[in-house]
């Protein structure tokens, strides 16, 4: 008899526990999705574009500088060696 009661309690705990875990995580899924959507709409990711925007300009600028320096150097070198 007590064995049956024990089994019953175990089964009840299993059903309750499992359904609670599922309900809780389902609510978490809903909340997370809503949270992501809200943030996506009202606070659209500024950092990513800024980061790429910052990164791209320097590269060409640097190239230009280097190119200017190189042409200047080559120019000067040639001029000197012609004389």
Partner 1 sequence: MEKLLTLWYGSGLYNLTLGQGVMVLVGLGLLYLAIAKKFEPLLLVPIGFGGILANIPEAGLALSAAEQAAHLARPGVLEQMAAALGVALDPVAGIEAWRGTLSDALHGDLSPTLVRAANDVAMDVGYANGVLYQFYNVAIASGIAPLVIFMGVGAMTDFGPLLANPRTLFLGAAAQFGIFATLLGAVGMSAMGWMDFSLNQAAAIGIIGGADGPTSIYVASILAPELLGAIAVASYSYMALVPLIQPPIMKALTTKREREIAMTQLRPVSKLEKIVFPLSLLILVVLFLPDAAPLLGMFCFGNLMRECGVVERLSDTAQNALINIVTIFLGLSVGSKLMADRFLAFETLGILALGMVAFAIGTACGVLMAKLMNTVSRMPINPLIGSAGVSAVPMAARVSNKIGLESNPHNFLLMHAMGPNVAGVIGSAVAAGVMIKFLG
- Distance of closest approach, residue 40 Cβ to partner 1, in angstroms: 8
14-73 positions binding partner 1, by CB under 8 A: 14, 16-18, 20-22, 24-29, 31-33, 35-36, 39-40, 43, 45, 47-48
Dist CA 63 CA 69 (whole Å): 10
Q: Which residue has the tokens 């790429």?
A: 52
Residue with tokens 């012609």: 82
As a whole number of Å, the end-to-end CA separation of the chain is 115
Give contact residues for partner 1 (rule: CB under 8 A): 3-4, 6-7, 9-11, 13-14, 16-18, 20-22, 24-29, 31-33, 35-36, 39-40, 43, 45, 47-48
């Amino acid at each position: 008899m007590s064995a049956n009661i024990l089994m019953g309690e175990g089964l009840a705990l299993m059903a309750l526990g499992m359904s609670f875990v599922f309900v809780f995580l389902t609510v978490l899924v809903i909340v997370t999705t809503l949270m992501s959507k809200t943030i996506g709409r009202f606070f659209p990711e500024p950092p990513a574009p800024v980061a790429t925007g910052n990164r791209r300009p320097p590269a060409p600028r640097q190239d230009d500088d280097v190119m200017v320096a190189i042409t200047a150097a080559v120019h000067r070198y040639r001029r000197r060696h012609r004389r």
